[in-house]
């Protein structure tokens, strides 16, 4: 019965095509952190060089903020929200309640991506999964290297859908939406959004 419901929701809410904003590339893979071999690591990168990007975020108000939350907030503050060029997402391990070691792990992951995109302090992190376990850093860093070395970045629908799958945990379907909008002078722009979440959901972010 539960499986049938999952299939219905997937069919009902997951798009089969989409429009995506210019200047972004996405990539994902199964790094081996998730036990079932599912996608668990993804990167979105800004490749537009005509302007510096603007970035903003809201984070949990839980007193025990996970390492990627603390790290990303610091990066946004130090860059005053300018020049963020990558977001790394991983699922399977939340890197939460992991103390100083967790923060060091987060810094290593972001530092690796900063080098690969050629821009320091330009990477934000998001992690989800089990609380109270350290990141399996070897698997994640190897996965990041593979994404870049094997040129797995793309701009197509499948790439975006797979990225949205890579941040899923108990989700029964990936949450991806995209739309074009017009400004009053007729200029069109695009919004694409993705989310994950199925349980431990009552956010109060600021």
Partner 1 sequence: TLLGFIVTDLPIKTSVLQPLLSGAVNRSFNCISVDGDMSTNDTICMIANGAIDTTVIDENSPDFEKVKDQVTEFAKQLAQLVVRDGEGATKFVTVNVKNSAEFKDAKIIAETISNSMLVKSALYGQDANWGRILCAIGYSKLENLASLDESKINVSFVATDDSTPRELKLIVNGVPQFDIDETRASEILKLPDLEVLVDLGTGSEECQFWTCDLSHEYVTINGDYRS
Q: Which of residues 15-74 bind partner 1 (CB under 8 A)?
A: 21-24, 44, 46, 48, 50-62, 64-66, 68-69, 72
Stretch that binds partner 1, among 110-118, 137-145, 149-157, 171-179 (CB under 8 A): 171-179
**Least separation in angstroms between CB 112 and partner 1:** 19
Task: Report whether 176 contacts 15 (CB < 8 A).
Answer: yes
Binding mask 69-108 for partner 1 (x = CB under 8 A): x--x-------xxx-x--x-x----x-xx-----------
Q: How far apart are CA 84 and CA 36, in angstroms?
A: 32
Q: Angle of helix 137-149 relative to helix 99-117, nearest 10 degrees?
A: 10
Nearer to partner 1, 149 or 206 (CB): 206
**Least separation in angstroms between CB 118 and partner 1:** 16
Q: Any contact of residue 205 with partner 1 (CB under 8 A)?
A: yes
What is the Cβ-side half-sphere exposure of residue 42, based on CA atoms within 13 angstroms? 29
Nearer to partner 1, 120 or 130 (CB): 130
Q: How far apart are CA 33 and CA 199, in angstroms?
A: 20
Nearer to partner 1, 145 or 157 (CB): 157
Across-strand partners of 42?
28, 89
Q: Any contact of residue 13 with partner 1 (CB under 8 A)?
A: yes
**Least separation in angstroms between CB 11 and partner 1:** 13
b or e along 140-161 (b: 16 or more beta carbons within 10 Å of the residue's beta carbon)? bbebbeebbeeebbeeebebbb
């Amino acid at each position: 019965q539960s499986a049938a419901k999952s299939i219905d929701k997937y069919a009902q809410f997951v798009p089969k095509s989409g429009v995506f904003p210019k200047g972004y590339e996405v990539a994902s893979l199964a790094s081996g952190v998730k036990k079932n071999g599912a996608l668990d690591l993804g990167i979105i990168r800004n490749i537009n060089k005509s302007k510096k990007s603007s970035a903003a975020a809201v984070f949990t108000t839980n007193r025990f903020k996970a390492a990627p939350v603390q790290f990303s907030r610091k990066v946004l503050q130090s860059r005053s929200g300018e020049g963020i060029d990558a977001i790394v997402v991983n699922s399977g391990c939340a890197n939460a309640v992991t103390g100083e070691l967790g923060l060091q792990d987060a810094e290593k992951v972001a530092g690796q991506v900063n080098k690969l995109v050629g821009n320091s302090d330009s990477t934000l992190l998001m992690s989800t999964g089990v609380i109270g376990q350290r990141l399996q850093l070897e698997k994640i860093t190897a996965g990041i290297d593979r994404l870049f070395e094997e040129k797995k970045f793309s701009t197509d629908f499948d790439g975006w859908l797979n990225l949205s799958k890579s941040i899923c945990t108990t989700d029964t379907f990936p949450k991806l939406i995209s739309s074009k909008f017009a400004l009053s002078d007729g200029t069109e722009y695009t919004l694409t959004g993705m989310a994950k979440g199925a349980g431990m959901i009552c956010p109060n972010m600021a």
